[in-house]
A and B are shown apart, each in its own frame.
Chain A
Amino acid sequence: MRRLTPYLLALPGWMWLAIFLVVPMAAMASVSLQTGNAIDGYAMTFSVSNYTDALGRYSTQLVRSLLYGGMATVAMLAIGYPVAYWIAFKGGRRKSVYLFLLLLPFFVSFVLRTISWNFLLADNGILFGTLKGWGLLPADFHVLATTFAVVGGLTYNWLPFMILPIYVALERVDPRVVEAAQDLYATRAAAFRRVVLPLSLPGVFAGVLMTFVPATADPVNAAILGGTANTMIGNIIQTEYLTNLDYPTASALSFTLMAVLLVGIFVYARVLGTENVLEAAAR
């Protein structure tokens, strides 16, 4: 009985993951190789034409998604690293207050936050409308429906996920190590570059992983802030599945997206070094 305990404990959760994660992936793989339509039904033909068709039609959106996701991730890193650094080393007793303030957006629905941005950035809304009224901006100035709005929205929505892991990594750095570097005549910049930065890389890795994947696959920001010229692959997959009911194309696109993201993570992991990856994955 005792030897069976771990299996019995693990069984329900394991079955949930197997039935609703592994089996659906297999179902999606199978659908992506079928041909047919929603009315007459689908038949397995093992054709890769769904993939070539889908890629031919939507490669623009796929590339754009990777680009927007990448731009947002770089922006999050540039904005978030200094914040994580300051809180970890200079936050003092108020560290948890600052972290709490950074996490405030999580108490508001993701969709609602994005809509709030749409509202704030509206062409004649409270911000730009007022500035235009004062003559500080030209009348045709707009931010909505631009690349900037979408990348800004993605950056906004996942920034805390970048700051937190970097903070956790930096918080573990013993300040005495930095002092030692300075005692050994390292300049402040050199101490940062050769001591603090390498020690924070696992946090950066975890942060990039937690932000790049969801930001690239996100359909919400492009739909609410982007207008028609900034459609991302997530919007296409949603439309193909839910409006066009073109399941084979949609499945092929989903699989392609996942494969591209997996390859991206793998290449990125190789560049940064495997130890960091394992360390980040173990946490």
Chain B
Amino acid sequence: MRGIRTGDRLLHIWTWLVIVWLSSPIAVMILFGFNDKQSKSNTTWQGFTLRWYKELFDIADLTTALRNTLVVAVVSTAVTVVIGTMLGLALGRHRFRGLGATNFLVFAAISTPELVMGASLLSLFVSGNVPRDSVTIIVAHVLFSLSFVVVTVRARVVGLDPSLEEAARDLGATAWGTFRQVTLPSIMPGVAAGAMLSFALSIDDYVVTSFVNGSTVTFPLWIVGAVKTGIPPQVNVMGTLIFGIGVLIAIGNAIAARRRT
């Protein structure tokens, strides 16, 4: 009996070690957003300051990059949610010709390495003389997010009781009315999860974007470009704010979900 307990205790400690390991770069990022650095590089702790929070938008290129990232994320999420929900509904609810082929396409889009996806899109744009800007970035982001929305919505649709919709139709609702008042509310958690996932994927993406951006710079691209000259503390602050907002939304979601049940 004693041996079993020790084993469990070791696994418990191991789990916490892994959690600490996974969180340590985040702690460093947050901490060095408060570093009162005097030299050019932000590598040693020199005292506490809120200066970088006040001067958050003082680097014009960085601010533009952050704005580009947010615009791309909002637009690509909106497009992805609409067409992804439609495709998820079709795949989860209906049997039609080409179902298998479409399922395969969705799976292929998830399993293609980002690098190959970016490279092949660039091949297409180069062959077709398409100029690269924020539009091509949005096209690419919709492409890699789409399957994730399809999969989450489809999972929700499959678990849905079709008799609810039939009841709505029997009670005289139009097709559109049934969709808006019965189907959509019941698949909403899947749609919302898909939307959050595609927003998160979009603001985080470096690899695919680096192929299709042309001269448009996004937040991750700007950071990689700045590695050689040193990352300014404003980047840490922006990372900290994005982290904080994301965590708050996730916790709020979890609380709301618990209250519902």
Interface residues of A (CB under 8 A from B): 5-7, 9-10, 12-14, 16-18, 20-25, 27-28, 30-31, 79-80, 82-83, 85-87, 90, 96, 98, 100-102, 104-113, 115-120, 122, 125-126, 129, 156, 159-160, 188, 209, 213-214, 216-220, 223-224, 234, 237-238, 241-242, 247, 250-251, 254, 257-258, 261, 281
Task: State the majority secondary structure of interface residues on B.
Answer: helix
Q: How far is the CA of A242 from the CA of B139 in the complex (A)?
A: 19
Interface residues of B (CB under 8 A from A): 4, 8, 11-12, 14-15, 18-19, 21-26, 28-29, 32, 43-45, 82-84, 86-87, 89-91, 93-96, 98, 102, 105-109, 111-117, 119-124, 126-127, 139-140, 142-143, 146, 150, 200, 203-204, 206-207, 210-211, 219-220, 223-224, 227, 231, 235, 239, 242-243, 246-247, 250, 254
Partner of A27, one of B43, B91, B120: B120
Q: Given contacts A6-B93, A100-B250, A107-B242, could you give 20 more A-B pairs where the C-beta distance is less than 8 Å?
A: A5-B94, A6-B90, A10-B87, A10-B90, A10-B91, A13-B86, A13-B90, A24-B121, A80-B18, A85-B11, A86-B8, A107-B247, A111-B204, A116-B25, A119-B32, A156-B25, A220-B206, A224-B224, A241-B211, A251-B119
Partner of A107, one of B25, B112, B143, B246: B246
Chain A residue numbers with a CB within 8 Å of B83 are 12-13, 16
**Nearest CB on B from A78, distance (A):** 11
**Nearest CB on A from B36, distance (A):** 15
Q: How far is the CA of A242 from the CA of B211 in the complex (A)?
A: 7
Q: How far is the CA of A86 from the CA of B28 in the complex (A)?
A: 28
Q: How far is the CA of A234 from the CA of B227 in the complex (A)?
A: 18
Interface pair A241/B114, CB less than 8 Å apart: no
Interface pair B11/A101, CB less than 8 Å apart: no
Identify 6 residue pairs between A and B in the complex whose beta-carbon atoms are under 8 Å apart, listed by A's number: A10-B86, A14-B98, A21-B109, A112-B29, A238-B211, A257-B115
A160 nearest CB neighbor, chain B only? B22
Interface pair A188/B4, CB less than 8 Å apart: yes
Q: How far is the CA of A223 from the CA of B220 in the complex (A)?
A: 14
Partner of B113, one of A80, A111, A213: A213
Known: A16-B142, A17-B143, A119-B28. A258 touches B113 (CB 8 A): yes
Partner of A109, one of B28, B203, B247: B203
B18 nearest CB neighbor, chain A only? A83
Q: How far is the CA of A250 from the CA of B211 in the complex (A)?
A: 12
Interface pair B102/A98, CB less than 8 Å apart: no
Known: A213-B111, A251-B119. A111 touches B14 (CB 8 A): no
Interface pair B14/A108, CB less than 8 Å apart: no
Interface pair A251/B123, CB less than 8 Å apart: yes
A6 nearest CB neighbor, chain B only? B94
**Nearest CB on A from B12, distance (A):** 6
Interface pair A90/B87, CB less than 8 Å apart: no
Q: How far is the CA of A110 from the CA of B201 in the complex (A)?
A: 10
Q: How far is the CA of A21 from the CA of B113 in the complex (A)?
A: 12
Chain B residue numbers with a CB within 8 Å of A9 are 86-87, 89-90, 94
